[in-house]
Structures are given as C-alpha cells and as structure tokens.
Amino acid sequence: MSKIQDALRKIQSVKTAPVEVVAIEPADDSASIGQVVDERDATGIRIKPTDGGLVMVNREMLRDAGYLAPMEQERHLAEQYRMLKRPLLNNASGRGLEMGEEANLIMVTSALPGDGKTFNCINLALSMAVEKDVSVLLVDADVAKPHVSQLFGIEQQPGLTDLLKDKGRDVDSVVLRTDIPGLRILSAGCHDEHATELLASRRMEKVLGVLSKAYSDRIVIFDSPPILATSESHVLANQMGQIVMVVCAARTPQKAVLDALDFLDESKPINLIFNQSASRLGAGEYGSDQYGYGSRSTGE
C-alpha cells in the first residue's frame, strides 16, 4: 500500500473530536503581519515600493494570527518543516526524483478551503528561506482570496495579475523584498474576472520561465486556490513542477481528497501534508504533520 493510500486510510479513521491546535485561519482576516516601507535615495526622493520598498514582516502579529507556532513550540514546528521541505528541495536541485527545469516551481494547495494551505505555504517558505544555498519567492496565486497579500500588507501592490495583463511589465518590478534574508514576495495583484484565462495564457508561460530560470538558487512557492473550489488551481497545477496538497485531520473528507487527486497530473510528484494531526504531537501541541511523500503514480 502506498504512503498516500496510508494517509487516506488514516484520514478515514481519525476521530471527529476536535484536535487541540491553534486555528489555521486568523481570527481577523483584515489583520496584516507585514508593512511595505518606502525607501528614499540619497537625495530624499521617494522610491516606489516596487522599486526598492521593503516588506517588514511582523512575526508577533503572524504568531497572534495563528500562522506561527507559540514561542514555546516554535522549535518543534521548525523541525516538522525541516522534514517537509527536504524532499521538495532535493527534487528542485536534481538530487531527488528525475524532473524537468520547472522542478523549483512548487504549488501548495488543498482539496477544500480551510484545510490550512496558506499556513503551510508560509511556513514552508520561511523554512526554506533559512537554507544556505536557496532563495525563496512566495507567490500569492490565490487571486480570488489573496490571503498572503493581505497578511503581508501588500494587497495594493502590483502583482501576478498585473504582470500577466501588462506585457510591458518586468518581473523584477513587482517582486518585493522582505526583511527576512532569502525571502521575496509577489502579490496576487488586481482582481480580474478572467484570472483563469490569464493563468493559462502564453504570457504566464513566459513569466514562469523567468521565475524558474532567472536565479539558479530560487525556489518559487505558489499559494494556490483549493482544487475543488476554482478552475485556477487546475491551470496552475499543469504548470508546476511539484505539488503539495494539504489534508486537514478530522476535517477533509476522504472523497474530497480522492476527487482532488484526480485533477492532478500523476506524472508529477504529488506530496501530502497531513495537517493538524495529533498522532505525533502531545496534547495541546501545535504543528503540521507530514504524512506521505512521493509520486502518486509510483506509490512512493
């Protein structure tokens, strides 16, 4: 039996009692853990944020909103993400599965809303950003509900959709630096009712090519919409090198997981994160439990 099948069996057997973990979604959706700080050059002339602004990440607000573990459990969660990120990094660097040039494009998604994809996406990005030989670009590709952009206070900044609509825009002009070394962010950009078509366009192919190849050490992590909720996620999945699907313990129905997997390309590594699992954590502990890594097609 494959690890993914093991994971699905575990999902089915989990008790319905609530797991004692900190909520994934913030209590206040309007809360922002980041702030774009305008920089000025030597003459005092204001520089636009997209031309050198710095996103200051407020870790305390991130923690209070439920996107980082409490201080006393931070080390445990960090160790969880060390295990989660290693297969992804190995694949991206060519030390894991044999993959193409897009192996450093990683999509984080879920079957349904509320399973914890944004929590895991942010923590994966932060964990990868501390690697010595890796830089990370976190892309908010959930255009309909841009939680990453809102959390980091960059929802008004030009982003992915603006880049796709305006062929004259340069990729680097919309990528924002943060005060975390090794981490940059690309906002979702302006809302567009034709987001699916934009993501499926040739312009998107070119943008992904630049994101994938411009920097040899860069990992690009996409916070994607849930697979069963929007068509945008299906388009994104076809363009990614690796896919991470978050499954929430005692919440995500097994059928939803199977239906979501049916939309994905079996030739790509499809990784599962079993989120809010208490199986390896003590009572009241906090974290995301890895459960089942590998390609669905090989059963690894």
Residue in the structure block whose two tokens are 């994938």: 212
Max CA separation in the chain (angstroms) = 66
Q: What is the pLDDT of residue 3?
A: 52
Task: Give the model confidence (pLDDT) of 267-299 as tens digits.
Answer: 889 999 988 776 544 433 333 443 333 333 322
Task: Give the model confidence (pLDDT) of 151-189 as tens digits.
Answer: 999 999 999 999 999 999 999 899 999 999 899 999 999
Q: What is the CB neighbour count within 10 angstroms for residue 255?
A: 11
* CA dist., res. 73 & res. 90, Å (int): 27
Average pLDDT over residues 226-253: 93
* 27 contacts 33 by C-beta, under 8 angstroms: no
Task: Give the model confidence (pLDDT) of 63-120 as tens digits.
Answer: 888 888 788 888 888 898 999 999 999 999 888 666 777 899 999 999 999 999 999 9
**More reliable by pLDDT, 264 or 32:** 264
End-to-end CA distance of the chain: 9
Tokens representing residue 52 in the block: 């050198």
**More reliable by pLDDT, 60 or 44:** 60
Q: What is the pLDDT of residue 297?
A: 31
Decide: residue 193, CB within 10 A, 0-12 exposed, 13-18 middle, 19+ buried. exposed
Q: What is the pLDDT of residue 279?
A: 53
Tokens representing residue 68 in the block: 């980082």
Q: Which CATH number fits domain 3-16+24-290: 3.40.50.920, 3.40.50.300, 1.25.40.80, 3.40.50.150?
A: 3.40.50.300
Decide: residue 37, CB within 10 A, 0-12 exposed, 13-18 middle, 19+ buried. exposed
Mean pLDDT value across the chain: 78
**Among 12-16, 127-131, 253-257, 276-280, which stretch is predicted with the lowest mean pLDDT?**
12-16
* Helix (H) or strand (E) segment spanning residue 290: strand 288-290
Task: Using the CB atoms, write b or e for 129-163: b if 16+ within 10 Å.
Answer: bbeeebbbbbbbbbbebbbbbbbbbbbebbbbbbb
Q: What is the pLDDT of residue 278?
A: 62
Q: What is the CB neighbour count within 10 angstroms for residue 100?
A: 9
**More reliable by pLDDT, 67 or 47:** 67
Q: Residue ranges of the domains in the chain? A: 3-16+24-290
Residue in the structure block whose two tokens are 């499809």: 270
